Amino acid sequence: MSHAATRYLEAKQTVDDRAYDRRVRDCLLDALGSSPTVLDIGCGTGTTLSWLLEWGVDAGTYHGVDADETVVAFARGVRPAACRYRGWPVTETERGATVGDLSVTFERDDAFTALAAADGLGCVIARSFADLVPVDDLLDAIEEALAPGGLAYLPITFDGGTIFQPDHPADEAVEHAYHGAIDAESGRDAHAGRHLIDAARDRDGDLLAVGGSDWVVRPRDGRYLADEAYFLECILGFVADALAETTVDGAADWLTTRRTQLAAGRLTYAAHGFDVLYQAPE
Ligand SMILES: C[S@@+](CC[C@H](N)C(=O)[O-])C[C@H]1O[C@@H](n2cnc3c(N)ncnc32)[C@H](O)[C@@H]1O
């Protein structure tokens, strides 16, 4: 992953902050206990650590793994400093930090390898991750790693529904091509959220909570919050990559129009997501 992608993950944070479902989060916190062992798979730049601390999870262990060395190096270097900036007592360690009574480590690792090596976890977090891998394999691996009654929290799971406004005549065809390109990638699913809900419901544990977590990015007075213009630039880049693989009538005009609208602070974007909380059988 490039530094540009690291910036994308950081820019995503304010969008995710608005999107995540508070009711599902509250169910997680009710069930989590005071000193949980947490594994965050596909942790990216470690922004979920900031969520946990803000939500009062300040004891136990947090282990974030990501396949990409660049984001892990970024997480190790930047996340402890960001926690200190927010007022937490932080002691840097070789692989992360101690924040309050929470031991934090970040490691380059494959999610499935880390899950296979783990045992008796209190919670596995997979945020914006379940659309990248087959959901049944993911739930199997997570459940193997959890303690009886352990929790799987999968927020901001993409579920299709990509919307750009104002209207453009090629919108429907572009959305179809974009989701089709995601589905064509091995293991990926543009409607992972709904399939995750089905797969969790079919298991022996409890589907404790489900909520919508749609991304909505809109300009105010021609400006975007924080680094969200960059976030939108990246989303348009993902769509452009998909359009390059196929033929869509009006695609070139669609892209030019969207980029012009973004530069002018007139583009609104929304994407549908789900937050899922599952509890392994006792
Ligand atoms: C969309 S990002 C989400 C990052 C973070 N959870 C967040 O929400 O900001 C997906 C992350 O999963 C990582 N990833 C993809 N496949 C992986 C795998 N098999 N094992 C570990 N990490 C993986 C990518 O490197 C990327 O950082």
Report how far residue 158's alpha carbon sits from residue 137's, in angstroms, rounded to the nearest whole number: 17
Q: Which domains does the chain have, with CATH numbers?
A: 3-160+187-216+272-279 (3.40.50.150)
The stretch 194-212 carries a mean pLDDT of: 98
242, 227 contact by CB (below 8 A): no
- Return the best residue to mutate from 6, 15, 66, 70 for the ligand 1 pocket (most ligand atoms within 8 A of CB): 66
The candidate with the shortest Cα–Cα distance to 139, out of 64, 65, 195, 68, is: 195
Q: What is the pLDDT of residues 83-101, one digit of tens each?
A: 999 999 999 998 999 999 9
- Return the best residue to mutate from 68, 138, 215 for the ligand 1 pocket (most ligand atoms within 8 A of CB): 68
Q: What is the mean pLDDT of the chain?
A: 96
pTM above 0.85, yes or no: yes
Three-class DSSP category at 31: helix
| Ligand 1 atom closest to Cα of residue 126 | 6
Q: Could you tell me what percent of the chain has a pLDDT over 70? A: 99
pLDDT value, residue 5: 85
- How far away, in angstroms, is 41 Cα from ligand 1 center? 7
Residue nearest ligand 1's atom 13 by CA? 42
Q: What is the pLDDT of residues 230-239, one digit of tens each?
A: 999 999 999 9
Torsion-angle region of 108 (φ positive above 0: left; ψ -120 to 50: alpha; else: beta): beta
- How far away, in angstroms, is 19 Cα from ligand 1 center? 18
Residue 253 reports pLDDT greater than 70: yes
pLDDT value, residue 2: 61
The stretch 99-119 carries a mean pLDDT of: 97
Q: What is the pLDDT of residues 126-139, one digit of tens each?
A: 999 999 999 999 99
Buried-state track 164-189, b at ≥16 Cβ within 10 A, e below 16: beeebebbebbbebbbebbeeeeeeb
Residue 3 reports pLDDT greater than 90: no
For ligand 1, whether the C-beta of 44 sits within 6 Å is yes
pLDDT band, very low/low/confident/very high, at 1 (cuts 50, 70, 90): very low
Buried-state track 77-114, b at ≥16 Cβ within 10 A, e below 16: eebbebbeeeebebeeeeebbbbeebbbbbeebebbeb
For ligand 1, whether the C-beta of 39 sits within 6 Å is no
150, 279 contact by CB (below 8 A): yes
Report how far residue 182's alpha carbon sits from residue 42's, in angstroms, rounded to the nearest whole number: 18
- How far away, in angstroms, is 257 Cα from ligand 1 center? 30
* C-alpha 189 chain-centroid distance: 14
232, 269 contact by CB (below 8 A): yes
Q: What is the pLDDT of residues 148-168, one digit of tens each?
A: 999 999 999 999 999 999 999
CA distances from 266 to 229, 238, 269 (A): 11, 19, 10
